[in-house]
């Protein structure tokens, strides 16, 4: 079933108009703030390498790098900057760091918004078949995420079909070319690392990013996992209870119901949109915490054991 573009949550268009305004100022504050934080943790990781303090900076580095995907997501929606070119090229740079294709991610994310929680069409659905505690924990840890990410880059570079057969022929050619360019870039980094006998790429990029994927997957899993495929955003998408720091790290994506209701609203106005939606509904949108959801999900999977992914609603707890 295709999810209708007709929104099930109605907000007065006059109140939406000011919220739709993009802001280069807000975009640069968020982008440079995030990159500046990575620069700070990189300095700490270099300065304290070999000491116990290294662990703290290593974890922070990995979290910040993984959370660049929240920026990729917003840049794909062209809501971070007014200029499309800025959204495009900064998004490509972030995607390269995250071992993902920018074009492929955009194609898949468009389908995610059209077919949220449709196991046959939603390219971002979490959970394998069988969907059980083991496969869920493997995904949460990042093991199956990274193995799938790397494998897919190689498959696409070789001109093979990816796991989503609905990509058109022109789109396939685009993602094949993109994957080849990515491999060229990674090969250059690998070659330079060998030439200079340097572990910098591993120490400051790959190792922290791969190790700390679980932190970013807390947001990935809570947004939709276990919810049904219905034509109702309130039934397919969750809003997450998060403090200021978590909101900044995830570029306000914890306001995920608001984002799916009106994807054209820039990230910096999602908190205001959330209030407008609750005013329109006449009640508060239920919120779950990142850790609370994980606790509930794991308990449910322990109780149910191995099963096919059914899209069963697990919002009530």
CB distance 249 to 74 below 8 Å: no
Q: Is residue 192 part of a domain?
A: no
Three-state secondary structure call for residue 206 = helix
* Residues listed for the chain: 317
- Helix (H) or strand (E) run with residue 241 in it: strand 239-241
Q: Is residue 83 part of a domain?
A: yes
Q: Is residue 181 part of a domain?
A: no
Q: What integer pLDDT is reported at residue 24 of this predicted model?
A: 98
Largest CA distance in the chain: 63
Q: What integer pLDDT is reported at residue 315 of this predicted model?
A: 44
Three-state secondary structure call for residue 47 = helix
CB distance 96 to 68 below 8 Å: no
Instruction: Give which of 142, 116, 146 is closest to 226, Cα–Cα.
Output: 116
Q: Is residue 187 part of a domain?
A: no
Three-state secondary structure call for residue 248 = helix
Q: Is residue 154 part of a domain?
A: no
Q: Is residue 110 part of a domain?
A: yes
Q: What integer pLDDT is reported at residue 295 of this predicted model?
A: 93
Rounded average pLDDT per 10-residue block, the chain, 317 residues: 55 92 98 98 96 97 98 97 97 97 93 88 78 89 93 92 77 94 98 97 98 97 89 91 97 96 96 95 93 92 67 44
**Domain that includes residue 41, residue range:** 13-143+199-304
Q: Is residue 183 part of a domain?
A: no
Q: What integer pLDDT is reported at residue 306 of this predicted model?
A: 60
Q: Is residue 151 part of a domain?
A: no
Q: What integer pLDDT is reported at residue 119 of this predicted model?
A: 82
Q: In total, how many domains does the chain have?
A: 1
Residue 131 pairs with which residues in a beta bridge?
307
């Amino acid at each position: 079933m295709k999810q209708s573009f007709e929104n099930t949550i109605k907000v007065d268009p006059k109140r939406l108009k000011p919220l739709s305004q993009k802001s280069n100022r807000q975009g640069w504050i968020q982008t440079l703030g995030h990159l500046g934080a990575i620069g700070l943790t990189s300095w700490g990781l270099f300065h304290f390498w070999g000491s116990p303090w290294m662990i703290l900076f290593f974890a922070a580095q990995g979290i910040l790098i993984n959370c660049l995907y929240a920026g990729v997501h917003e840049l794909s929606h062209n809501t971070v900057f007014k200029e499309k070119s800025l959204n495009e090229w900064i998004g490509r740079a972030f995607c390269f760091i995250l071992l993902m294709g920018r074009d492929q991610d955009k194609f898949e994310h468009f389908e995610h918004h059209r077919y949220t929680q449709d196991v046959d069409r939603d390219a971002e659905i979490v959970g394998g078949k069988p969907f059980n505690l083991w496969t869920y924990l493997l995904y949460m840890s990042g093991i199956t995420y990274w193995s799938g990410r790397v494998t897919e880059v190689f498959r696409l570079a070789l001109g093979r079909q990816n796991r989503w057969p609905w990509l058109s022929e022109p789109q396939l050619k685009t993602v094949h070319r993109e994957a080849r360019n990515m491999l060229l870039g990674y090969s250059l980094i690998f070659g330079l690392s060998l030439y200079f006998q340097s572990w910098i790429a591993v120490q400051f990029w790959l190792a922290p990013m791969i190790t700390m994927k679980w932190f970013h997957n807390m947001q990935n899993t809570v947004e939709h996992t276990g919810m049904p495929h219905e034509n109702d955003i309130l039934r397919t998408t969750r809003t997450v209870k998060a403090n200021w720091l978590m909101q900044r790290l995830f570029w306000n994506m914890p306001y995920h119901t608001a984002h799916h209701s009106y994807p054209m609203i820039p990230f910096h106005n999602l908190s205001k949109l959330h209030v407008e939606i609750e005013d329109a509904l006449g009640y508060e949108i239920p919120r779950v915490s990142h850790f609370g959801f994980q606790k509930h999900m794991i308990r449910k999977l322990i109780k149910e054991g191995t099963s096919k992914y059914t899209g069963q609603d697990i919002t009530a707890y």
